[in-house]
Amino acid sequence: MATEPNETDDQPEEHENLPESSPENSTESIGLEQELEELLAQVEVDLDSLPLEEQVTHLKSDLEMAQKEAADNLDASLRAQAEMANFRRRTDEDRINNAKYSNSRLIGNILPVLEELELAITHTEASAETEGSTNRQLLEGIKLIQRKLTGVLESEGIAAIEAVGLMFNPLEHEAVGTEETTEIEAGYVTQILRPGFRLHDRIIRPAQVMVAMAPKVT
């Protein structure tokens, strides 16, 4: 009986054909590495191969460059610190000023109320002399309110601007008119028509004043 041929005998064995590293490839790779190292070595100056004077020159040059770089870095650091200190100072000043003058608008609205109280005191004083104790009690009540309100404003840094008898100051005074007089030197304030006020060191309302002028010669 004839035997059938074995299929596996006729079929070639399947193997993965992996490239094998040859001695030639290894030698070529080593040669490239050596060539690369030689190129890198050429970039850097080998001080040991130079004469002593040139070595000293190179070292001095490197030292000068390092010193210059260190000086530049120190200068940049000091500038940055100074700028930061100035920034913090300005920020603190702005914060203090904002808190210091934050109520200036409210105070400006209260000042007319204080003036109305002062006018009421003036009129009530005139009538209290003729109309008896009722008006006198009313006058005392108005004065009490006026004193308390003035105290509150003063505690917030409000102060009246002085004017009478002082040289006219356009930063603090608003000239409403002039009057001829020989009693006060020309250019000085003779009277206040409307009080002025400052909040701490800031003028929030100038004083309206009359200013003296020399009499006209006829």
Q: Where are the domains of the chain?
A: 57-100, 104-156, 159-218
Q: What is the mean pLDDT of residues 13-22?
A: 47
**132: alpha, beta or left, given left = phi > 0 and alpha = psi -120 to 50?**
left
Is the confidence at residue 174, as pLDDT, over 90? yes
Q: What is the mean pLDDT of residues 158-170?
A: 91
Q: What is the mean pLDDT of residues 92-117?
A: 84
CA distance 164 to 23: 112
- pTM value? 0.52
> 159-218 is classed in which CATH architecture?
Roll (2.30)
Residue 63 φ then ψ, to 5°: -65, -45
DSSP string, 96-116: HHHHHSTTHHHHHHHHHHHHH
CA distance 34 to 32: 5
pLDDT at 39: 59
- Selection from 203, 147, 213 nearest residue 171 by Cα: 203
49-100 pLDDT tens trace: 667 777 677 778 888 888 888 888 888 899 999 999 898 988 888 888 777 7
